[in-house]
Amino acid sequence: MTRDRFSYLAPWWLPGGNAQTIWAARAARRHFGPAPRWQRSRWDTPDGDFIDVDEALHASAPQAPLLVLFHGLEGSSASQYAVAFADFAAAHGLAYAVPHFRGCSGEINHAPRAYHSGDFSEIDWILRRFAHENPSRPLLAVGVSLGGNALMRWAGEMEQSATQLVCAIAAVSSPLDLAAGGYAIGRGFNRVVYTRMFMGTMVPKALQKLEQHPGLFKREALLAARDLYEFDNLFTAPLHGFRDTVDYWTRASAKPVLHRIRVPALALNARNDPFVPAASLPTLQDAGPSVTLWQPAHGGHVGFPVSHGPFGLPGHVRAMPEAVGNWLLAQL
């Protein structure tokens, strides 16, 4: 088990976690090769619902590894990190796929549920289907933010049996202590910028869900919700079997099960991540012998932009996928 092996230095013109987060998401270069092209498939879920899976169309050898990316809150295959990992996969000859959590592919799902940070059973059946459909390919998985917590929670729950499905996993900028992250995003600048951004898509989708399933929750109460704590209390927690937000954040967090992980696992968290307080990050004592911790001082939330081109602009976000992807490949 190691720590601080990701050597990252933020560009001088992007001081602080918020700048590094926002630039990476809005303005940084995402790929050096051609933009990824996708083939979409619809998978029926075990409970009669569906998810949409985007598979990159670049060439890969029949026995090359398959890299599966689980996106973050309200993310998709169009998110900057998903595109950057697609660029890494194409450059290294890897097959690459992005399964969308329910309701995140551009079409609302059918069931009276959505997705959540601790949905390890969803991770399990997705990975099992990838393994079944790609028996000649070693399977690698990376989860970003919410997707990383769910992936690490899966590995902790599965323990040794996870090694039968995947060769290695990684979590990037994941709030492994959901309560710490949830409270942090509901305060100050985070509340004004990030909470408003997430609520701007989550609330309309929840209202669509109410149209599908009248009586699922109280519309007026949801419209009055002003942060993720209130939203999770009214929507996420009760729809997915949790008593309330506190119960959800406690039971869904991956940090308490890190010591049970047996597959090679990497957790990368910048210590200036505005969503994930540094004091909440796992320590060597929290993580088991299979878990590697990278906790650089800078990077923001899924940021890690790097200077590139004349005068250090416009900057790119390939450094993080390169480091994480090469770590995953080194575990094969």
Extract the tokens encoding 116: 């959540």
SS3 state of residue 151? helix
Query: What is the reported pLDDT for 70?
Result: 98
Q: Domain 17-177+253-330 falls in which CATH fold?
A: Rossmann fold (3.40.50)
The number of beta carbons lying within 10 Å of the beta carbon of residue 277 is 15
Q: Are strands 66-70 and 95-99 parallel, antiparallel or unpaired?
A: parallel
The per-residue pLDDT for 93 is 98
Catalytic residue among 145, 174, 253, 280: 145
Strand ranges in 182-311 using DSSP code E only, listed in sequence order: 265-268, 291-294
Q: What does the alpha-carbon distance between residue 94 and residue 281 come to, in Å, rounded to a whole number?
A: 31
The whole-number mean pLDDT for each consecutive block of 10 residues of the chain, a chain of 332 residues, reads 70 93 92 95 98 98 98 97 98 98 98 98 98 98 98 98 98 98 95 95 97 97 96 98 98 98 98 97 96 96 86 79 97 97
| Element (DSSP H or E) covering residue 24 | helix 17-26
The two tokens of residue 304 are 């890690």
Beta-sheet pairing, 95-99 with 139-144:
unpaired
H and E: helices and strands count for the chain: 12, 8
* Whether 273 is catalytic: yes
> What pTM value is reported for the model?
0.96
Asked if omega into 274 is within 30° of 0 (cis), the reply is no
Q: Where are the domains of the chain?
A: 17-177+253-330, 178-251
Task: Locate 230 and state its tokens.
Answer: 């209130």
Show the tokens assigned to 245: 């937000």
* Active-site entry in 58, 100, 301, 316: 301
Q: Reading across the β-sheet that carries 66-70, which strands appear in turn? A: 38-44, 50-56, 95-99, 66-70, 139-144, 168-172, 265-268, 291-294
How buried is residue 288: exposed, middle or buried, by Cβ count under 10 Å (0-12/13-18/19+)? Answer: middle
Choice among 273, 280, 290, 316 that is catalytic: 273
What is d(CA 310, CA 12) in angstroms, rounded to the nearest whole number?
14
Which letter does DSSP use for residue 100 in this model?
A: P
